[in-house]
Amino acid sequence: MTSTIAVTRWIPDEALKVLAEAGEVKLSRADRPLTPDELREFVRGSSAIVGMLHDRIDGEVADAAGPDLKVVANVAVGYDNIDVPALAGRGITVTNTPGVLTDATADLAFGLILAVTRRLGEGERLIRSRTPWSFHLGFLLGSSLQDKTLGIVGLGQIGQAVARRALGFGMRIVYSGRSRAAEDVEKTLGAKYVPFDELLRSSDVVSLHCPLTPETRHLVDADALKAMKPGAYLINTTRGPVVHEAALADALEAGEIAGAGLDVFEAEPEVEPRLLDRENVVLTPHLGSATVETRTAMAVLAAENVASVLTGGNPLTEVRP
């Protein structure tokens, strides 16, 4: 019996070819996230689901798919959209796509750091608006990064990649997280492990790279923002709900921090309205992994996970409860 593989949104042809060798591919033609009802109907009778970060895949979705469902492949590193325990309890394998998007996301994170500290967005908007301007020594002054402290929350693969980039700009590195990095990692990066509250107090730029969990939801809230330096900047390229957006807007309005660069949002794709018109905020639409090479590699890895499980092999990158 041929396996049916439900793919909830467009993926590159390279990944579709891998899936086609393992079963019959059913690809959603909707150029948008499926509603919960649509998703349950779409996956009915499937042996595998290839989903995106906006697809909430829980026990109800698994039950709708039916008893043949063997694997759910999330085309993302984070898997807060997947009810892993519920699926594991039904004997369903869950996979993600770690590793392949590390450098692309780190590049984007550092791009946001440069954009907000050097006021690149403001300058670009000024030019496009055809506002008259002339060079002078006080014009659109930003903040340099040399000899400043970068605080990284979550020194995993992406956090380490951001740290390596920061070293090239002459920055000092401190970090916090659930656990310390290996000694050789700390030594190579010159990174100092500090408690989260100390990181907030001492960092000129705070860059978030922790997963979204119940413990990290709203990790950066009003109290955390008040603990930051008045001249500090907040960067978020991990998951939107790690930051309390309304509290961030309050902090920016009150001048409690200097600015923010956000690639992810609490109620994505919606954005806290008060952030939209602020000149000291740089906003990008979840572009962390958005290179041709990276998005293709993510989709291919997800497809290889599906193909391996459906043909009786082990998953390449399994997520365990």
Give catalytic residues, as residue numbers: 239, 268, 286
SS3 assignment, position 207: strand
Which of 279, 230, 252 is CA-nearest to residue 118?
A: 279
Distance of CA 315 to the CA centre of its chain: 23
The number of beta carbons lying within 10 Å of the beta carbon of residue 277 is 7
Give me 46's structure tokens.
């499937």
Sheet holding 4-7, edge to edge: 24-27, 4-7, 48-51, 71-74, 93-95, 318-319
b/e code 103-140 from CB counts within 10 Å (16+ = b):
bbbbbbbbbbbbbbbbbbbbeeebeeeeeeeeeeeeee
DSSP H or E segment with residue 94: strand 93-95
